[in-house]
Chains A and B, each alone.
Chain A
Amino acid sequence: EIVMTQSPATLSVSPGERATLSCRASQSVSNNLAWYQQKPGQAPRLLINGASTRATGIPARFSGSGSGTEFTLTISSLQSEDFAVYYCQQYNNWPPGTFGQGTKVEIK
C-alpha cells in the first residue's frame, strides 16, 4: 500500500499571504494525485486532480504541481474562506486510494 505523507501538519498563514503544502508518496504515483479541501462540518471538495488540473469552479489562486513522489499545493493569496484542512490522495495504485493525513491551514 502506498503511504501518503503531508507536511506540515499545521500551517499558520496571514490572509493575503502565500501557502505551500507538500505531499510525498512512498512510491511513484505518476501524476495520479488529487487535492481536497475540507471545512469544518462539510464534506471534502475536489480542488485539483491529475496533480495540476483545477476542478470545475476552483479559483486560479489554487495550483498544484509535481509528479512521481513529490507534490505541492500552492494557494497564492489566502482568502478567509481558504482556511481549512487539505488532503492529498493518490489514485495510481488502486485499491486503495490512499489519503494523506491532512494539513490544517489556520489564520496566523
Chain B
Amino acid sequence: EVQLVESGGGLVQSGGSLRLSCAASGFTFSSYSMNWVRQAPGKGLEWVSYISSSSSTIYYADSVKGRFTIFRDNGKNSLFLQMNSLRAEDTAVYYCARDRDFDNWGQGTLVTVSS
C-alpha cells in the first residue's frame, strides 16, 4: 500500500523558515516524480513544486520561486521542501503527492505563518 506521511509543519513568524518532510513507503520511491501541493484555509488546491525521479528536473510555482527549495533523498525514500522567507500567504496545509497526476497524497501538514 502506498503511504505518504508529511511532517515538519508548525507555527512560524513571517520571514522565518521551515523544512517539510514526506516519508514514502509501499512503492519504489526512486521511480516516481513527486510534488508539493498546498491548500490555504477554506480555499482550493495550489500546486507548489515538482521534482523528477532523479532530481534532474525541478519546477516551482511563481508564488514560491526563489524562496522554496524542493529536494529528495531516494536512499531514504524521502521528499523535502525547504521554505524560507515565509509570508502570511504561505499559510496552508501542505501535501506531498506522487507523480504528475497526483495519484496518491499524504494527509498533509499545517504551516501557519504569523505576521
Chain A residues within CB distance 8 Å of chain B? 34, 36, 38, 42-46, 49, 55, 87, 89, 91, 94-102
- In angstroms, Cα B102 to Cα A38, docked, is 13
Q: How far is the CB of A48 from chain B (nearest CB, A)?
A: 9
- In angstroms, Cα B44 to Cα A99, docked, is 8
- In angstroms, Cα B100 to Cα A49, docked, is 10
B46 adjacent to chain A (CB < 8 Å): yes
Known: A44-B95, A46-B103, A89-B45. 8 other contacts (CB 8 A): A34-B101, A36-B102, A42-B107, A46-B102, A97-B47, A99-B47, A100-B44, A102-B45
- In angstroms, Cα B107 to Cα A100, docked, is 21
Q: How large is the interface on B (under 10, 10 to 19, 20 to 34, 35 or more residues)?
A: 10 to 19
B105 adjacent to chain A (CB < 8 Å): yes
Question: B100 — nearest CB in chain A belongs to which residue?
Answer: A91
B105 with A97: CB separation less than 8 A? no
Interface residues of B in 65-115 (CB under 8 A from A): 95, 100-108
B107 contacts across to A, CB distance below 8 A: 42-43
Chain A residues touching B, majority SS: loop
B100 with A97: CB separation less than 8 A? yes
Inter-chain contact total with CB atoms closer than 8 Å: 56
- In angstroms, Cα B104 to Cα A49, docked, is 12
Query: Can you list the 8 inter-chain pairs with the closest CB atoms, starting with the nearest?
Result: A95-B59, A43-B105, A49-B101, A99-B45, A91-B100, A97-B47, A96-B47, A34-B101
B44 with A45: CB separation less than 8 A? no
B104 contacts across to A, CB distance below 8 A: 46
13 contacts between A and B (CB under 8 A): A34-B101, A42-B107, A43-B108, A45-B105, A46-B102, A87-B45, A89-B102, A95-B61, A96-B47, A96-B61, A97-B50, A98-B47, A102-B44
A94 with B50: CB separation less than 8 A? yes
A87 with B44: CB separation less than 8 A? yes
Q: How far is the CB of B49 from chain A (nearest CB, A)?
A: 9
- In angstroms, Cα B61 to Cα A87, docked, is 19
- In angstroms, Cα B101 to Cα A49, docked, is 7
Question: A91 — nearest CB in chain B belongs to which residue?
Answer: B100
- In angstroms, Cα B47 to Cα A44, docked, is 13
